[in-house]
Every structure is written in C-alpha cells, then in structure tokens.
Amino acid sequence: MRTVSAKLKHIGTSLSSSSRPYSLTPLASSHGKPRNPPSPTLLNEFVNFCYKRDLPKAMNAMAAMERHGIYADSITYSELIKCCLARNAVEQGKLVHKHVFSNGYQPKTFLINILISMYVKFKLLDEAQALFDQMPERNVVSWTTMISAYANAKLSDKALEFFVLMLREGVLPNMFTFSSVLRACNGLFNVRQLHCGMVKLGLESDVFVRSALIDVYSKLDELKDAICVFNEMETKDLVVWNSIIGGLAQNSDGDEALDQFKRMKRAGFTADQATLTSVLRACTGLALLEVGRQVHVHVLKFDVDLILNNALLDMYCKSGSLEDAKSVFERMVHKDVISWSTMIAGLAQNGFSQEALKLFDLMKASGIKPNYITILGILFACSHAGLVDDGLYYFRSMKRLYGIDPGREHYGCIIDLLGRAGKVDEAVSLVQEMECEPDAVTWRTLLGACKVHRNVDLAIYTAKQVLKLDPEDAGTYVLLSNIYANSQRWEDVSEIRRQMREKGITKEPGCSWIEVNKQIHAFIVGDTAHPEINEINKWLNQLIHKLMGIGYAPDTNFVLQDLEGEQRDDSLWYHSEKLAIVFGLMSLSSGSVIRIRKNLRICGDCHTFAKLVAKMECRVIVIRDPIRYHHFQNGVCSCGDYW
C-alpha cells in the first residue's frame, strides 16, 4: 500500500469523482421480523426506564423483549447507550450491541453509528473497528467517528488512511470530518492537500474547519499560514478568535497574540476561559506583569475555574511576583497537582528553596500525589540552594515513593546540584549511569560545573560532546574559549575563534527587557538605539562612580578574556541589565519594583551591581534570566549568591 501522504496527493481527484467502493464484510441485509406480536406494556416500560436512566430495570426489560422478539426504536436505544456511557457500564453496553443484532434484527445505520461511538468513548477501538467493518452501509458520520477516534488516539496514519478509504467509497467529508482529520496531520504537505480539498467542497469558510486549520498550522509553527486563514474570514466568531490567539501564544509570539486579543475586544467579543488562558500564556512568555494584572480582572468572572487559576498562578510565578502568586494560590478553592507543582517550581525558581520544600510537604499532607513536574521543581529547589543530601534523597527515591521514572530533566538537576557543590566526579558518574542518552542540555550543565571549578580537561571533553549534538551552539564555543583563556592557553583560544569565524557562528548579544507604562523597552550591550540612551548613560556613569565610592569594582572575569583591560572595564559598564536597571530608576516611581527579563544568564559583575544598587537606592530589583529569578533587596539576592 502506498504511503498515506501519497494517497492524499490525489484528494482533489477523489473529491470530484466517484471511486470503487472500499470492500468490507457486510452484515446480513435481511431485516428480521418479531416472532410474536409486540407487547405494548413491555415496550412502554422499557422506553420509560431508558428515558429515566434506570439502567438495571432497562437491562431487565431489554432481556425480556429479546426473548419475545420485541425491538424498540433507535432513539430509545440511543438513550440507553447514553446511560451506559454515563455509568461507564461497558458490559451493559456490549449487551445492548448484542441485543440489537439478535434474532436476525438489522438496526439502522444511525444506531450502529451510536454503538461505534460508544465503543470509541469506552476506548475500545478494536470493537469499534470490528463493528464498522461489518456495516452494510456507511455514511459520513460512520467514517468521521472512526477518523476522529484514531486522531484522538494519536494513531495519525490510521486516521489519514481512513480518510482516503472514505473518499474511495464515494462518501464526501463534511466539516466535522475535516476538523477531525486535520488533528492527525503531522506534516505540512498533508495539511495543504486537505486545505485544497476543503476549498473544492466549499467548506473553507466553515467556522469549525477554519478553527481546525488555524490550530494545525500553529502546531506546525506555520504562523503565517494560520494568520492568513484567519484574515480570510469575513465573519469571525469566538472559536476562531480563540484559535488564533492560542496558536500565537503557544508559539511564543506573545506580542501578536495580545494584539489579536485587543482586536477581538474591539470587534465586540467577550473573552471566555479559553481566551484568557491563552492571553495569560502570552503574558507569561513576555513577562508582562502589568498586562497580566489587567487580564486578572477578567479572570475574576471565572473565579472557580481551575485551568484559568493555574494559568494565572503560572503567570505571576514567571513574572517574579510571588506575592501575587501566593495570593492566588491561597484563594484557590480547588487545587490539583498542576496548582501545587506550579507554586513549588515558582518558589524554587525565584530563590525560595526552603519554602518550596515546605510546600511540598503540605502537598503530600493534602493527599495530592506528586507527578513528574513536581519532582523536577523539588530537585531544582535543592540544586539552587546547595541541598545535596536532600536532592539525592528525592532523586533516588522518586521511583520507589511516587512511581516516577527519572527523566533527562531530573538527571540534569542532580548533575547541576553535584557540579555546583564541587562534586564533579560524582556528576560525571551520574551522566554515565543515565538510562537515557544525555542530550546537549545535560552536557552543558556539566560544562558549567567544569567552568566554575576550573576543570579544564573535563571541560574540553564535555564541550566537544555538546558540539557533537548541537554544532551551532555559540555559547559553548565562547565558554570553551574563556576556559582556555583563564588557563592562559591563547593558541587554543585563537583556534576556537577561528572555528567560529569559519562556521559563521556569532555569540548571541545580551539583551534585557523592562516594562514601563505598559510598553516594553529593550536594551543590548553598548546600546545606542534607545531614544533616551544619552540620559541613561549619564545616569549609569554617575551611579557607577557612586558605587565605587562604597567599594564596587568591575569584575573583569565576566568579559571576554582577550580584550584589553580598559576596554574590558568599559564593556562591563554597559551590559544590557545595567542599562535596563538605570532606565527603571529613571522611569518608575520610587516604590515600584524594577522587573527585568534577560535572554542570557546574569553575569557575576551585574549580580554584584544589582545588589549594591538595590541597597543604595532602597529599591527592589527582580531579574529573570533563562535559568531562574533573582530578587535583589537590601543588598542581598534571593539566590544567596549561589547560582
């Protein structure tokens, strides 16, 4: 059989012409007749029990009817099947199936479709497939039910194969068919072929089809196509707005997601839970605390919605506003494992490891079982607080206590924990005992430990492992170059730089973002583009001279080692986070927290600078880098200088 993609290539032809039917084994087509005249009393009792959802009495009445050869109408049986589904009564459902085919009775296609749907909802796909194969006639509902079932079960090839067979049998898909089969698409080629088929059938303007198209293009990171499908719609409803906003937010295009949210509100639509969940995700990705707080006002209408509250909790944690996060968490009427895990991870990432461990104890006492993410948060807390014994205990016992197999992320946390504590040899042993192959992230973690503890030989080996898996990783080249420089191995430094030039690899410039008056201001090292840069530099120079008066001296260990001394000092002065901090001091009121987001890990010199500025200016400064959050206040950082 040709591949599914090859079959889909001819969808256009299949949609416009009849093909030979797909041969399956049919049931007997003769309609059996009742052996005895119907008993109105028995039949009426059965109907009454079905509509009252009295399953035991309905099943008894059905057995009596079968003995007398009496059958009800399809609608009544559908009510009985609903009752079976509501009670998860699998065996009773199978008895209904057996009954409607007993004594040669032939149920209508409508009822067989309902039975197939019942098996699908019971997750009995083999039984659903067997019944489908026996159908003498299949309509669009029959095919769509099976296609949807296989798509939901992540059996994508099977779903696409059924779609092709449906076309061969001459059954035209409807909007629900396309919505279902699109979920099974993992490649752009198939999506485009299906998109063409929708246009041929005139279904491309249907809301469900458009929404499914937007979802699948977003899933494949084809945002231009998703936006194009969205913009082509003359009239839009909330479902389609939610699809485009959700797709953009999931693909880290938070700015565009928020723009579409504003357009949606201007168009007169009221946000629902799905909209607000996506908007909060966009705020989380951008660390837009003030915008997130505005969204919080809308969330209050759905105060008991667990998914929304979890999204709100995540937004506050990842914006570094633990006071707001704690307030949301404490007010939540219902908390699930996601709620607890989000709060634990939030505390750990913001430097409050002991609080994270205490909350973990409360979670266990509440009866909530930890999951993969919970343990990851706990290990992160141990790693960033130097709690070696605690971290190793949780890591070694997670399978025994909670039935969770350690994954790469768990190994990474423990390797980081051991590396920070100077136990580099133990970290290497752990890498060697990993059940899964170490990835680039794992090797980078070990490389960071080698840099801290100046283990040059191991660093070289580790860096080479990283570059095998990620040959374009500029950070590893630069880190290896600096390790060589610290060891005065200048020929090796030159060789690394030569390799970078030949491969066209450049170091990503440090960039910091700060939100002021609902506007994002971005800075890079040595920035000259910001309209207020001259005033910012003036403030920065004055601030550094003040700090030098109380003992601050730029630490040149955190710049490239082959720069001249004066240039090295000067480059440190204008790191992006320093520019952002000064702009915050200039622009925000004295009581406001200065919140900054960075694309690279904060360097040691900027960390010292932020502590001293927070103390001298009596401000709270929160800096979020790719690894964690630093809360600076009164001259100290929440990380305890252990990062």
Q: Which residue from 513, 516, 540 is spatially nearest to 609, judged by alpha carbons?
A: 540
- The count of other CB atoms within 10 Å of the CB of residue 578 is 23
In this structure, of 24-28, 90-94, 439-443, 476-480, the range with the lowest mean pLDDT score is 24-28
Whole-number pLDDT of residue 27? 38
**Residues contacting 321, CB < 8 A, separation 6+:** 289, 593
Q: Is the pLDDT of residue 430 over 50?
A: yes
Whole-number pLDDT of residue 558? 52
Q: Are strands 511-516 and 519-524 parallel, antiparallel or unpaired?
A: antiparallel
Tell me the mean pLDDT in the region 477-482.
Answer: 84
CA distance 216 to 186: 8
In this structure, of 143-147, 185-189, 252-256, the range with the lowest mean pLDDT score is 185-189
Q: Positive or negative, the Cα torsion across 390, 391, 396, 399?
A: positive
Q: Positive or negative, the Cα torsion across 529, 530, 535, 541?
A: negative
Q: Is the pLDDT of residue 570 over 60?
A: no
Residue tagged 């409607």 (tokens):
100
- 363-367, 501-505, 516-520: range with highest mean pLDDT: 363-367
Q: Positive or negative, the Cα torsion across 537, 599, 603, 641?
A: positive
CA distance 442 to 67: 68
Q: What are phi and psi of 149, to 5 degrees?
A: -60, -45
CA distance 345 to 579: 29
Q: Is the pLDDT of residue 183 over 80?
A: yes
Whole-number pLDDT of residue 613? 94
**Residues contacting 476, CB < 8 A, separation 6+:** 444, 447, 463, 466, 467, 470
Q: Is the pLDDT of residue 342 over 50?
A: yes
In this structure, of 217-231, 376-390, 393-407, the range with the lowest mean pLDDT score is 217-231
| C-beta pairs of 132-138 under 8 Å, 24+ apart in sequence | 133/24, 133/25, 134/24, 134/25, 134/26, 134/27, 135/24, 135/26, 135/27, 135/109, 136/26, 136/27, 136/29, 137/109, 138/109, 138/169, 138/171
The chain-wide mean pLDDT, for the chain, equals 85
The tokens of 522 are what? 């971005």
Q: Is the pLDDT of residue 357 over 90?
A: yes
Q: Is the pLDDT of residue 18 over 50?
A: no
The percentage of the chain sitting over the pLDDT mark of 70, rounded to a whole number, equals 91
Q: Is the pLDDT of residue 198 over 60?
A: yes
**Residues contacting 487, CB < 8 A, separation 6+:** 454, 456
Whole-number pLDDT of residue 139? 95
Whole-number pLDDT of residue 396? 92
pLDDT band at 288 (very low <50, low <70, confident <90, very high): confident
- Give the residue with greater pLDDT, 585 vs 553: 585
CA distance 543 to 619: 14
The percentage of the chain sitting over the pLDDT mark of 90, rounded to a whole number, equals 44
Convert 361-371 to b/e letters by CB count within 10 Å (16 or more is b). eebeeeebebb
Whole-number pLDDT of residue 631? 92
Tell me the mean pLDDT in the region 240-263.
Answer: 89
Tell me the mean pLDDT in the region 186-194.
Answer: 81
pLDDT band at 586 (very low <50, low <70, confident <90, very high): very high
Q: Is the pLDDT of residue 568 over 70?
A: no
At CA 224, angle to CA 223 and CA 225, rounded to 5? Answer: 90
CA distance 501 to 513: 29
Tell me the mean pLDDT in the region 130-152.
Answer: 93
Q: Is the pLDDT of residue 384 over 50?
A: yes
Q: What are phi and psi of 632, to 5 degrees?
A: -100, 125
From residue 214, alpha-carbon distances to 8, 224, 265 in Å are 20, 10, 20
CA distance 44 to 39: 8
Whole-number pLDDT of residue 8? 53
Whole-number pLDDT of residue 556? 58
- The count of other CB atoms within 10 Å of the CB of residue 247 is 27
Whole-number pLDDT of residue 39? 57
**Residues contacting 279, CB < 8 A, separation 6+:** 245, 249, 257, 258, 261, 271, 295
In this structure, of 197-201, 586-590, 619-623, the range with the lowest mean pLDDT score is 197-201
Q: What are phi and psi of 621, to 5 degrees?
A: -120, 130
Residue tagged 């430990």 (tokens):
449
pLDDT band at 206 (very low <50, low <70, confident <90, very high): confident
Q: Which residue from 526, 508, 511 is spatially nearest to 598, judged by alpha carbons?
A: 511
- 3-state SS, one letter per residue, for 532-566: CHHHHHHHHHHHHHHHHCCCCCCCHHHCCCCCCHH
Q: Is the pLDDT of residue 365 over 90?
A: yes
Q: Which residue from 412, 493, 420 is spatially nearest to 450, judged by alpha carbons?
A: 420
Tell me the mean pLDDT in the region 268-290.
Answer: 88
Q: Is the pLDDT of residue 188 over 70?
A: yes
Whole-number pLDDT of residue 569? 43
Convert 282-291 to b/e letters by CB count within 10 Å (16 or more is b). bbbbbbbbeb
Tell me the mean pLDDT in the region 252-261.
Answer: 88
CA distance 192 to 197: 9
In this structure, of 1-5, 220-224, 392-396, the range with the lowest mean pLDDT score is 1-5
From residue 417, alpha-carbon distances to 424, 426, 538, 623 in Å are 10, 10, 41, 22
pLDDT band at 563 (very low <50, low <70, confident <90, very high): very low
Tell me the mean pLDDT in the region 209-229.
Answer: 85
How many CA atoms, within 13 angstroms, populate the side-chain half-sphere of residue 240? 23
In this structure, of 116-130, 183-197, 240-254, 607-621, the range with the lowest mean pLDDT score is 183-197
Q: Positive or negative, the Cα torsion across 133, 136, 139, 141?
A: negative
pTM: 0.74
Element (H, E) at 636: strand 636-637
Whole-number pLDDT of residue 557? 58
